[in-house]
Structure 1
Amino acid sequence: MAKPKLSPEFEIEVAGEPYVWRLQRRPQWSTDTKGWQGMAIAVRHQEGQREAVVEFPPAPPPRFGAPQLKPTDISVDLVARAIASAIEAGWEPHSRGKTVAIVVDETGA
Structure 2
Amino acid sequence: MGLWSKEQLRSFIKENNLVTAQDAQNALKDLFAETLQEMLEAEMDTHLGYEKHDMQNKQTSNSRNGKSKKKIMSEYGEQEIAVPRDRLGEFDPVVVRKHQ
TM-score above 0.5: no
Instruction: Give the TM bin, normalised by the shorter chain.
Output: under 0.3
Which structure shows the bigger proportion of residues in helix conformation?
A: 2
Which structure shows the bigger proportion of residues in strand conformation?
A: 1
Q: TM-score, normalised by structure 2?
A: 0.25
